[in-house]
Chain A
Amino acid sequence: MNSPSDHFELFGLPRRFAVDLPALEKRYRDLQREVHPDRFSTAPVSEQRQSMEMATRVNEAYRTLKTPLLRVRYMLELEGGDVLAETNTAMPREFLMQQMGWREVLEEAAEARNAQRLDALDAQVGAELDATFADVEVALDARDGATSASLVRKLMFLDKLREEIGAAQERLEN
């Protein structure tokens, strides 16, 4: 009896970018009900160990499938694509300019403690993320590895920027 080989199989979901989130969540809970260590507290050590490994795997798979950026990276990996290929880190000039512009706004807004401006930037970057996800979905479903990989790199830039905006917002609050 073999274990499910990938996250999609583990959750009984088709390997597509568009994931049925309620179904994912339900499956996650059903699986944890079976394998979580709390179900094995009276069991022998060998079963407790198995339970911890499987529950860890289920958590990891859930996090990956639930988080869009992790999901696309994982899908690329399954296709044998390499997002971080060192020879392939060049980004379009236009995109880099836009990034630099946004980073300037972030620095200025953080400096000036301008919460409104931070919120506006957050919304702008969020919209760009959404648009890029839509593009990557098309590329992934068309099995266009090269385009997908380049879009995923763009997503990673945007995600990092959004994280930094979040950190700046948090600093402002405290």
Chain B
Amino acid sequence: MALLQISEPGESPAPHQRRLAIGIDLGTTNSLVATVRNSIAVVLNDADGHPLLPSIVRYLADGSVQVGFAAEAQQARDAKNTIVSAKRFMGRGLKDVPYPENSPYDFVDAPGMVQIRTVAGVKSPVEVSAEILRTLRVRAEAALGISHGAASGEDGAGELYGAVITVPAYFDDAQRQATKDAAKLAGLNVMRLLNEPTAAAIAYGLDNAAEGIYAVFDLGGGTFDVSILKLSRGVFEVMATGGDSALGGDDFDHRLFCWVLERAKLAPLSDEDTRLMLSRARQVKEDLTNHVEARFNARLSTREIVDVVVNQQDFWDMSQTLVAKTLAPTRRALRDAGLAVADVKGVVMVGGATRMPHVQRAVGELFGQVPLNNLDPDKVVALGAAMQANALAGNRSSEEDWLLLDVVPLSLGIETMGGLVEKVIPRNSTLPVSRAQEFTTFKDGQTAMAIHVVQGERELVSDCRSLARFELRGIPPMAAGAARIRVTYQVDADGLMSVAAREATTGIEASVAVKPSYGLSDGEITRMLRDSFEHARDDVHLRALREQQVEGSRMVESVRAALAQDGDLLDAEERAAIDAAISALEKSMAGTDHRGIKVAIERANRATDAFAARRMDRSVKSVLAGRNIATI
């Protein structure tokens, strides 16, 4: 609880109280992990000194898994089982897969989210991403001196408190949920999903003490985001965001690949040769950043030799339409923010694909200024995520007392008559946000009602992405039109949606069963967890116990702190009830029954509900009274 953090200005909590937190940039092409050490964000390298982990996972027949460079080295030889750019499949169906004809994978069309058949069985993109996250978690634990398996790190530095995982700002609910699931599967406590351009803005803004309106232009391996932010006295306020969650450096590679295929008049390629040619295309694209021409050279499995010279101008011409696809969302974001180009003080470039000179030029022309490239475009997102992770873990000093205000990237709506969308929460609403709608029944005695929630800007349901279909059940039988069902849609600070429903005349809570459209059922998550534990030779029960114990001690710690600060808000009876719940929780934590601890945590939460509400009111009042600690 940051507002309870008692420390002198300029002073961090004592080192032994610091909680270990990491920021992870889970990228399409490369992933990174960073942390804050001695108030400075640093990227953690692997044992060989590499900061980047190629986001590539290879499944082997014996059930083992290779991640990163080892997998990358085998991608052309074992294309079918070596998954690259899994991020592009997160929360996506088979119909969304870009150029499946050039993909070597054996796709399985599962409801909502596509899966891939490998020698080690069918894998969901969530599992593939979890392998990458797990590798980074292990890297971070080694770097931070966390001895794994120890119940409490007595000689080590304690344990990993939590992580912030970045996602493209333009990711929809299904893609965000899939990312969060992957992190859970990798054994990470996700403190927040943070939008990539916002993470970059923190790193840039804090580094340069920037104030004013800034645009962050983030073209990564597979996704494009643009965010317009207002930076003012430690507040990072996102005013609008836009993008394309299926546009990135990969697409430039693909353009080049197709162009070379045509030039070299090649017959259709095998999966392996396709992979080889695509990675050559990437190489040539990178070479063309600093050279006016580059050689596309490959020896195919058919013994054919491909040898084509590509010059910069050819490459720019063939990919100009891709660059243009970044400019329309940029203009729209400015319009949504109610700003003109002249209002923008600086344009921060993020993502490896912004190294391409024609991207730099197009952005410079649009904004009428030279883009800012003074931070490493590959690392800036991970660094910002680490800073935010450090702050969320409660390690912030009063100088690091910034606040992020982010937005929902895509409008949320519901299906109405005729397959049309009625917008409920418009895009660029500041998070958290909620809106309520009232419905009524149209038949006598009707007890259920179906609601379909979609995300997107188009008017037809079929042009938007289906987020959830749910049924309201348990509506009390009444005459048609008499029931008043209030449905509340809430989007939280992670950009994730939840729905609640209540019949207003009787106060009956209608039960809401939201089926995530991306189709990872609870059963599937359990199976994946079991698989991953078997793989890691971990003990499921021990792990669950450990998790609940950690959760329990967090609860005890924070309630004690709250009581110390605001105990006067309670009368003796209320105080006794909370004390009882806390000591019951502590008692259960000494045992080995993880379910018992979970129940005790839930009870403690209920016991402190009213207290929490009063504390919230008190802090609001303190702002009104000008007694706000943060602004002194």
Chain A residues at the B interface, C-beta cutoff of 8 Å: 1-4, 10, 12, 27, 29-47, 49-56, 59-60, 62-63, 166, 169-170, 173-174
Contact = CB atoms under 8 A, between A and B. Distances in A.
A34 B605 contact: no
A38 B430 CA distance: 14
B3 interface: yes
B617 A1 contact: yes
B628 A34 contact: yes
Given A12-B624, A42-B394, 16 more contacts: A1-B569, A29-B233, A33-B235, A33-B628, A33-B631, A35-B616, A40-B1, A40-B2, A41-B192, A42-B1, A42-B392, A42-B393, A46-B605, A52-B432, A59-B433, A63-B430
B623 A30 contact: yes
Contacts of A2: 617
A42 B4 CA distance: 11
B615 A50 contact: yes
Contact of A31 (B191, B490, B562, B620): B620
Determine which residue in A1, A31, A42, A47 has the highest number of CB atoms from chain B within 10 A of its CB, and name it: A42
B555 interface: yes
Given A34-B628, A56-B432, A170-B335, A50 B612 contact: yes
8 contacts: A3-B620, A38-B391, A44-B604, A45-B601, A46-B608, A46-B609, A51-B616, A63-B429
Given A12-B624, A34-B630, A39-B3, A44 B559 contact: yes
Given A47-B562, A52-B432, A52-B490, A35 B619 contact: yes
A10 B620 CA distance: 8
A60 B555 contact: no
A95 B612 CA distance: 52
Contacts of B393: 41-42
Contacts of B605: 44-46
Give the interface residue-count category, chain B. 35 or more
A9 to B, nearest CB: 8
Given A1-B569, A12-B624, A44 B328 contact: no
Contacts of B297: none
A29 B630 CA distance: 10
A112 to B, nearest CB: 21
Contacts of A47: 1, 558, 562, 608, 612, 615-616
B614 interface: yes
A30 B616 contact: no
Interface string B272-285: 00000000000000
Interface in B524-575: 554-555, 558-559, 562, 569
A56 B430 CA distance: 9
B552 to A, nearest CB: 10
B171 to A, nearest CB: 19
Top 9 closest pairs, chain A to chain B, by CB: A41-B392, A37-B493, A46-B612, A47-B612, A39-B2, A34-B619, A50-B616, A50-B612, A33-B630
B613 A50 contact: yes
Contacts of B622: 34
Contacts of B429: 59, 63
B331 interface: yes
B404 interface: yes
Interface in B401-456: 401, 403-405, 429-434
B502 to A, nearest CB: 15
Contacts of A30: 623, 628, 630-631
Determine which residue in A3, A33, A49, A62 has the highest number of CB atoms from chain B within 10 A of its CB, and name it: A33
Given A38-B403, A41-B392, A42-B394, A55 B624 contact: no
B492 interface: yes
Contacts of B595: none
Contacts of A43: 1, 558, 562
A56 B433 contact: yes
B355 interface: no
B332 interface: yes
Contacts of A173: 328, 331
Contacts of B431: 59
A169 B232 CA distance: 31
Interface string B599-612: 00100111011011
A3 B490 CA distance: 21
A170 B630 contact: no
A1 B191 contact: no
A36 B331 contact: no
Determine which residue in A29, A44, A45, A53 has the highest number of CB atoms from chain B within 10 A of its CB, and name it: A44
Interface in B578-605: 601, 604-605
A29 B235 contact: yes
B618 interface: yes
A2 B604 CA distance: 24
A47 B606 CA distance: 10
Nearest to A48: B612
Given A44-B559, A44-B604, A50-B613, A4 B493 contact: no
A59 B432 contact: yes
Determine which residue in A10, A12, A32, A43 has the highest number of CB atoms from chain B within 10 A of its CB, and name it: A43
Contacts of A35: 616, 619-620
A59 B403 CA distance: 14
Given A40-B1, A45-B605, A47-B562, A34 B623 contact: yes
B95 interface: no
Determine which residue in A27, A47, A60 has the highest number of CB atoms from chain B within 10 A of its CB, and name it: A47
Given A1-B569, A42-B554, A47-B1, A32 B405 contact: yes
Nearest to B435: A60
Nearest to B235: A29
Contact of B618 (A1, A38, A62): A1
A63 B433 CA distance: 11
Interface in B513-529: none
A167 B159 CA distance: 52
